């Protein structure tokens, strides 16, 4: 009903303006009045009937909310980026530390292996010396034994060649006498 009355007002205003136009020769004043009435009616319709201001306010509030959410999401993304970059730096630092520790451990292990090899080499040398010394002692003992046997054999042969039967009896008699003295 309100729209119908507005249309009715516009139509009667146009009619009244038409009457005055014929009567008066100045059209520009009535055109300005007609425009002012038309604008007032349009503002009234858009503002109070269609509530276009509320639509714009709601849209502006929605845009502001979206901008605020976007700002928060941007801040969260920046915070996460900083956190990830920090973690990445920590990972790089940990990798460098691990590499340094591995290199140190490798050098220590190489040194330990070198020392172990030197110790084993020294043990082998000492064992070889002992074996050589043992073999030398055994060879000397065998040589002494051989020389002793040879000397005894030569002496025995020399005694057999130089011994006569009476020397044999004398040795036997001396031996029996010594046994008799021992048993007393």
Work out the pLDDT band at 43, boundaries 50, 70, 90: confident
Residue 9 is predicted with a pLDDT of 55
Residue 42 is predicted with a pLDDT of 87
Residue 168 is predicted with a pLDDT of 74
Task: Please determine, for residue 49, whether its predicted confidence score (pLDDT) is greater than 80.
Answer: no
* Cα atoms found within 13 Å of the Cα of residue 78, Cβ hemisphere only: 6
Task: Please determine, for residue 93, whether its predicted confidence score (pLDDT) is greater than 60.
Answer: yes
Structural contact between residues 10 and 41, judged by C-beta atoms closer than 8 angstroms: yes
Q: Which residue has the tokens 């276009």?
A: 52
Per-residue model confidence as pLDDT tens digits over 23-38: 455 678 989 999 999 9
Per-residue model confidence as pLDDT tens digits over 75-85: 999 999 999 99
């Amino acid at each position: 009903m309100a729209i119908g009355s507005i249309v009715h007002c516009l139509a009667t205003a146009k009619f009244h303006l038409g009457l005055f136009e014929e009567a008066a020769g100045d059209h520009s004043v009535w055109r300005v009045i007609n425009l002012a009435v038309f604008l007032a009616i349009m503002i009234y319709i858009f503002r109070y009937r269609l509530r276009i201001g509320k639509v714009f306010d709601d849209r502006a509030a929605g845009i502001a909310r979206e901008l605020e959410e976007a700002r928060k999401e941007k801040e969260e993304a920046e915070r996460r980026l900083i956190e990830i970059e920090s973690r990445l730096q920590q990972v790089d630092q940990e990798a460098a530390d691990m590499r340094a520790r591995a290199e140190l451990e490798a050098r220590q292990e190489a040194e330990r292996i070198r020392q172990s090899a030197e110790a084993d080499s020294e043990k082998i040398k000492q064992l070889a010396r002992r074996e050589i010394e043992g073999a030398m002692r055994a060879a000397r003992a065998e040589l002494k034994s051989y020389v002793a046997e040879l000397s005894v054999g030569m002496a025995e042969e020399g005694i057999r060649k130089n011994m006569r039967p009476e020397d044999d009896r004398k040795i036997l008699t001396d031996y029996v006498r010594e046994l008799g003295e021992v048993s007393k």
